[in-house]
Amino acid sequence: MKEHQLEYERKFLSKYAQKSEETKGRKFDIEPCPYRTEYQRDRDRIIHSKAFRRLKHKTQVFLRPNDDHFRTRLTHTLEVTQIARTISRALLLNEDLTEAIGLGHDLGHTPFGHAGERVLNALTGHFKHNEQSLRVVDLLENNGQGLNLTFEVRDGIVNHTSKGNPSTLEGKVVSFADRIAYINHDIDDAIVAGVISEDSLPKDCVEFLGKTKGDRINTLVSDIITNSFDKPVVSLSDEAMFYMNKLRQFMFDNVYSAAGNEEMQLRADRMLSMLYNYYIKHPEEVPNKTNNPNEDITVIVCDYIASMSDTYAIKIAKQKFIPDEFRI
């Protein structure tokens, strides 16, 4: 029963962990569940959401719809959550809260990875995927009712980026796990795509962090645990942070902005721009609008475009811009 789980949290979790019974609660009160803690409930609500299911057809970095082995936004989410749970368990933090934040942190991500985020930001003047993730769980999911998640999960979702400042240690764990996951699995995918080679990685980073993806993840996870155990902070050592950031910068310089990948992203930019401008002119065709009749049309269209999977965006673009006789 739930009481046993709450008693376990009281007895065995760190004094710095966020306890389920100490949550700041939800925007709207609901009947307590007799079997699940509040954070377990949030996890289940996220997993059963439409936004979570759509992540399986959203690009992580490489636009490879016909290759099953490249990461998608969903597999990225699962890798982040696995790393975050490992860290939280070792630090005696609340694993359920960590899991819920990890599973929900990218629900607002656009189709075509950061190319989609970039084009929506340019078109609207302001678009951040972490803020959109919060909008998804607060408003857009569940037919405009939102998921009504706890404060701590919502706070962790909107603050998961490197510039964020989550109010719980569990949120900070997810923020670190996000960076550890994407740097290393994007290296893996970039090598398979032929964009970089193992030998091109900075030698000092390889010497410190490790030669393989598993070695590098293990080094960073171990470093966080060693530097954070029984402390009111979650942090890497200065040396580990230096090499992680150096490897991250290498990826920005050589992968995320690489010419081969940039061409595909520019095509995605053009497609999303065309869709955005089309729906601005034809707002009556946007389905599933929010319940707010005064919502600005640019926000409504942005919500719709951001929610699309890659495959759905391509399908709609074909329907809107390619005559039937030319479709393949």
Domain count, the chain: 1
As a whole number of angstroms, the distance between CA 263 and CA 248 comes to 21
Residue 302 lies in a domain: no
Among the listed residues 38, 45, 1, the one whose alpha carbon sits nearest the alpha carbon of residue 23 = 38
Which residues of the chain have a pLDDT value below 50?
Answer: none
Q: Return the pLDDT at 28.
A: 96
Residue 325 lies in a domain: no
Q: Return the pLDDT at 188.
A: 94
Among the listed residues 42, 61, 48, the one whose alpha carbon sits nearest the alpha carbon of residue 109 = 61
Q: Return the pLDDT at 61.
A: 86
CATH number at residue 37: 1.10.3210.10
As a whole number of angstroms, the distance between CA 205 and CA 227 comes to 19
pLDDT tens-digit series, residues 243-265: 999 999 999 999 887 655 667 77
Q: Return the pLDDT at 68.
A: 76
Q: Return the pLDDT at 261.
A: 60
Residue 291 lies in a domain: no
Query: Is the full-model pTM beyond 0.85?
Result: yes
Report how far Cα 277 is from the mean position of its chain's Cα atoms: 26
For residue 62, what are the domain limits?
2-111+129-260
Residue 251 lies in a domain: yes
Q: Return the pLDDT at 326.
A: 58
Interacting residues of 98 by C-beta distance below 8 A, sequence separation 6+:
81, 84, 85, 87, 88, 170, 173, 174
